[in-house]
Structure 1
Amino acid sequence: MPDWFLGIDTSNYRTSAAVYDPVSGVWQNEGSLLDVPEGAIGLRQSDALFQHTVRLHEKIEALPQGAVRAVGISTRPRAVEGSYMPCFLAGESVARSAAHLLSVPLVACSHQQGHVAAAALSANRLDLLDRPFLAWHLSGGTTELLLVQPGADGLPDCACVGGTTDLSAGQLIDRAGALLGLPFPSGAALDKLAVGTLPQAGYAPKVSGSRFSLSGMQNQVLALYERGEPSETVARFTLETVANAVVKATGQARRQYAYPVLCAGGVMASEIVRTRMRQTVEDVFFADPVLSGDNAVGVAVLAARQYERNKT
């Protein structure tokens, strides 16, 4: 049996537990989206916390058995002061109890650090975690371009050097999806619509210092919808607009930081955005779509790395 490292992540929209074996590179993630009422574009934290509490044991029970060397847990959205969401308490409670009963180390990290580690594993570039690189974290609630460096504590130190100043890319996508009657979260469904139509320019948001605003883009999307444009056109416009901002911000950042670029987060699963990045950015790497969205695999990876670090 392999020596497993257990990871747990209870984000705002997905319950996830995973095991990872650093020797073989084998991992398994068990996760599912939380239930969001039809037509809604969000979930109250109290509802998210309740659903995680009910479902987390099912995810853990679906994992393969074996010796657990350490338990990893995401305890907050980002590793910055004041970053907090109650939904992470569900996972933290279980993780702390499991680590105590198993007499193994507990490794706490942020949801964002887990995203970065999962993307590095999926791209077969775990070596990036040992040197500086740039990383996009594009998700339902976060649109940040990060300068990632090895932290003094052994975990990735993620400093925001660009991204949105208001609406996140995921929020724009979900609001466009709500207009079109798509399920929440809407990223996958919107991308499926978009790839079925001809490419278009989208809107080019102003980008300065790798930072941009997306709030005005919501009005542009609404105007298209109200003019009666086909759903495929609205979807493509939305994703091309996000791609325009991300590509330009990346170019500006790389003039200052000549590092590889790693792409993480659920929005980065979009084939439209990924294609544009591949066409215009050199030395860019992507997580497999399965590990682009919220998952516990990256948390397990960080638990394994911290375990090895503390052995020496």
Structure 2
Amino acid sequence: MKDQNIYILGIESSCDDTAASVINNGVVLSNVVATQKIHEAYGGVVPELASRAHQQNIVPVVHEALRQANIDKKAVSAIAFTQGPGLMGSLLVGASFSKSFAMGMGIPLLAVNHMQAHILAHFIKDEEQKAPGFPFIALTISGGHTQLVKVKNYFDMEIIGETLDDAVGEAFDKSAKILGLPYPGGPMMDKLAQQGDPSRFPFPKPKVGPLEFSFSGLKTAVLYFVEKETKANPNFVEENLNDICAGIQSTIVEYLMDKLKNAVKITGINEVAIGGGVSANSGIRTALREAEQSLGWKTYIPKFEYCTDNAAMIAMVGELKYRTQQFAETDVISMARMKF
């Protein structure tokens, strides 16, 4: 199937973004995302509301993806969807649509692991990003996951380290919430941190194994710090917001880089890639570029649109599976928790 002209329709619905994308031989023709604003009022994603919004959004999002790609649905070679991990109600909407589309059009169905997709997004053909060579180390950082992965081939991946409690994205969002920032707080904290002094308010880095992560203690440290300082000065956060954000972000970025350095040292692999929503953070992107210069690493940073949840990465994995005929049956089960 190497020389075949392949069109893959990708569907992503693991959390609160309804997304559809069309890829043609590794090139993205469309990448449409409908973001659900309703969760902002609740300070976090409400699963039931997310699944309802997916039901409303999925048909128009797919229609728009096909329109932007300028192809008829009959030209689609196969449909790929996120099997897991994610919110079960949200996953089921994408899976049900994809199964129905596959049966109706008489085309293959491709089930994709969401976390694998964040890693394999690097293989989308795009002038603005380069693909890593095998083997490489992938740091997948998102609202639900923090993992160090040894990637030996497209579908031969080994988790060599992960968080023992909370994910890094949750640490950003919860810390932001403590500071009174709106949800999602991570991107806002990143913006404010760029205007602050990271050395003014340092925070402790959790002590666990060389390749493991822990973020629950950091969130607690931020909470106690804010409570203590606002007791003495009610306006403390407002007066020092940029510096507090810079201190939190600097601590998290240094912590992630410490683990990456350990992974490179232990494995002997100096090709390093990042993926997941938090890989859009300016601090970690800058730190990786600096590591390429100072440590001699080869670093790979995805385009912003391939960092957060998107369907282009699902379609990319779908194409790789299509070429190796890794098709799914229509009774394939969605999984809220899913390993590689």
TM-score w.r.t. length of structure 1: 0.87
Aligned to 1:140: 143
2: CA distance, partners of 1:169 / 1:212: 9
2: CA distance, partners of 1:217 / 1:231: 17
Q: How does 1:103-252 map to 2 (within 5 A)?
A: 103-121=106-124, 124-126=129-131, 128=133, 131-150=134-153, 156-200=155-199, 202-226=203-227, 227=229, 228-229=236-237, 230-252=240-262
Aligned to 1:86: 89
Q: How far 1:138 sits from its partner (Å)?
A: 0.6
Structure 1 residues 273 and 88: CA distance shift in structure 2, 3 A: same
Q: How far 1:31 sits from its partner (Å)?
A: 0.7
Which protein has the larger Cα radius of gyration, Structure 1 or Structure 2?
2
Q: How far 1:220 sits from its partner (Å)?
A: 2.0
Structure 1 residues 182 and 145: CA distance shift in structure 2, 3 A: same
Q: Hey, which of these two has a bigger chunk of helix by percent?
A: 2
Structure 1, 219-228 or 247-256: larger mean CA deviation: 219-228
Number of residue pairs matched by the alignment? 298
Which amino acid in 1 is paired with 2:322? Y
Q: How many percent identity over aligned positions? A: 27
Secondary structure (helix, strand or coil) at the match of 2:81 reads strand
Q: Does 1:34 align with 2:36?
A: yes
Q: Does 1:69 align with 2:82?
A: no
Secondary structure (helix, strand or coil) at the match of 1:191 reads helix
Structure 1 residues 72 and 53: CA distance shift in structure 2, 3 A: same
Q: How far 1:157 sits from its partner (Å)?
A: 3.5
Structure 1 residues 224 and 33: CA distance shift in structure 2, 3 A: farther
Q: In the alignment, is the contact (CA less than 8 A) between 1:203 and 1:240 conserved in 2? A: no
Q: In the alignment, is the contact (CA less than 8 A) between 2:203 and 2:221 conserved in 1? A: no
Structure 1 residues 27 and 115: CA distance shift in structure 2, 3 A: farther
1: CA distance, partners of 2:267 / 2:191: 33
Q: How far 1:202 sits from its partner (Å)?
A: 4.7
Aligned to 1:80: none
Q: How far 1:3 sits from its partner (Å)?
A: 5.0
1: CA distance, partners of 2:221 / 2:60: 42
Aligned to 2:61: 59
Secondary structure (helix, strand or coil) at the match of 2:266 reads coil
Secondary structure (helix, strand or coil) at the match of 2:158 reads strand
Structure 1 residues 232 and 32: CA distance shift in structure 2, 3 A: farther
Structure 1, 182-191 or 89-98: larger mean CA deviation: 182-191
2: CA distance, partners of 1:136 / 1:146: 6
**Structure 1 segments unaligned to the other structure (5+ residues):** 78-82
Q: How does 1:9-48 map to 2 (within 5 A)?
A: 9-22=12-25, 25-38=27-40, 40-48=42-50
2: CA distance, partners of 1:111 / 1:145: 15
- Partner deviation per Cα, 1:60-111 (whole Å, 9 max, x = no partner): 111134121111111111xxxxx87332111011111111222221111111
Structure 1, 251-260 or 178-187: larger mean CA deviation: 178-187
2: CA distance, partners of 1:183 / 1:68: 40
**Structure 2 segments unaligned to the other structure (5+ residues):** 230-235, 327-340
Structure 1 residues 301 and 310: CA distance shift in structure 2, 3 A: same
- Partner deviation per Cα, 1:170-195 (whole Å, 9 max, x = no partner): 11111122123333222211111111
2: CA distance, partners of 1:256 / 1:85: 36
Aligned to 2:324: 309
2: CA distance, partners of 1:176 / 1:184: 11
Secondary structure (helix, strand or coil) at the match of 1:141 reads coil
Secondary structure (helix, strand or coil) at the match of 2:143 reads coil
Q: How far 1:199 sits from its partner (Å)?
A: 3.5
Q: In the alignment, is the contact (CA less than 8 A) between 2:78 and 2:107 conserved in 1? A: yes
1: CA distance, partners of 2:59 / 2:215: 38
Q: In the alignment, is the contact (CA less than 8 A) between 2:47 and 2:87 conserved in 1? A: no
Structure 1, 25-34 or 50-59: larger mean CA deviation: 25-34
Aligned to 1:256: 266
Aligned to 2:281: 270
TM-score w.r.t. length of structure 2: 0.81
2: CA distance, partners of 1:220 / 1:36: 30
Secondary structure (helix, strand or coil) at the match of 2:88 reads coil
2: CA distance, partners of 1:91 / 1:271: 31
Which amino acid in 2 is paired with 1:73? F
2: CA distance, partners of 1:285 / 1:3: 26
Structure 1 residues 95 and 70: CA distance shift in structure 2, 3 A: same
Which amino acid in 2 is paired with 1:239? Q
Which amino acid in 2 is paired with 1:292? C
Structure 1, 116-125 or 46-55: larger mean CA deviation: 116-125
Q: In the alignment, is the contact (CA less than 8 A) between 2:142 and 2:277 conserved in 1? A: yes
